[in-house]
């Protein structure tokens, strides 16, 4: 992160406590403001009150998958352009491809190189993004997130 910008606010949704702490320390040491949560439901509940500049989301989480979180966020105009980095030990498959087509989503395999993660975050947070732009094609606005909407979405 360059010194002429305000600290970048990054929400991290990761169910593995050790990896969540590692990412938190890595980002904090680089001057970012970090909010960590342990699952997709907490991510959606936290994002509105914290307004992150970017999100790092694990694909496989309890209660609500990272893929469902991405779909929900992209369906809301307020979050349609917030950069997202998906972390997964899963093989790149059709579900991940479908979510990435919503736009503004990068994909990293676990285990990942911390320098690569920082490079991706620097790139996606440095790029200007339209504020509150329209939801991407294919996204359906749902209004405020609710557990019933999240659970009805595909994993």
Q: How many angstroms separate the CA atoms of 108 and 118, rounded?
A: 12
pLDDT of 68 strictly over 90: yes
**pLDDT computed for residue 130 by the predictor:** 58
Q: How many angstroms separate the CA atoms of 85 and 104, rounded?
A: 9
Q: Residue 110, exposed/middle/buried by CB under 10 A (0-12, 13-18, 19+)?
A: middle
**pLDDT computed for residue 5 by the predictor:** 54
Lowest-confidence region among 77-86, 121-130, 137-146: 137-146
Question: For residue 85, what are its two tokens?
Answer: 């980095």
**pLDDT computed for residue 128 by the predictor:** 74
**pLDDT computed for residue 1 by the predictor:** 45
Q: How many angstroms separate the CA atoms of 79 and 74, rounded?
A: 6
Domains of the chain: 9-126+146-150 (3.40.50.2300)
φ, ψ of residue 105 to 5 degrees: the values are: -120, 125
Percent of the chain's residues with pLDDT above 90? 52
Nearest partner of 74 among 134, 6, 121, 32, judged by Cα: 134
């Amino acid at each position: 992160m360059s010194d002429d910008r305000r600290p970048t606010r990054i929400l991290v949704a990761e169910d593995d406590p050790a990896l969540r702490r590692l990412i938190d320390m890595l980002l904090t040491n680089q001057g970012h403001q970090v909010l960590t949560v342990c699952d997709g439901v907490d991510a959606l509940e936290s994002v509105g009150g914290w307004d992150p500049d970017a999100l790092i989301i694990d694909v496989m989480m309890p209660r609500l998958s990272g893929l469902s979180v991405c779909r929900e966020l992209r369906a809301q105009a307020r979050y349609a352009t917030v950069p997202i980095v998906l972390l997964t030990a899963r093989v790149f498959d059709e579900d991940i491809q479908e979510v990435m087509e919503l736009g503004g989503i990068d994909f990293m395999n676990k285990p990942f190189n911390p320098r690569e993660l920082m490079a991706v975050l620097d790139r996606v947070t440095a790029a200007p993004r339209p504020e509150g732009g329209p939801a991407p094609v294919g996204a359906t606005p749902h209004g405020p997130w609710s557990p019933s909407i999240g659970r009805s979405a595909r994993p």
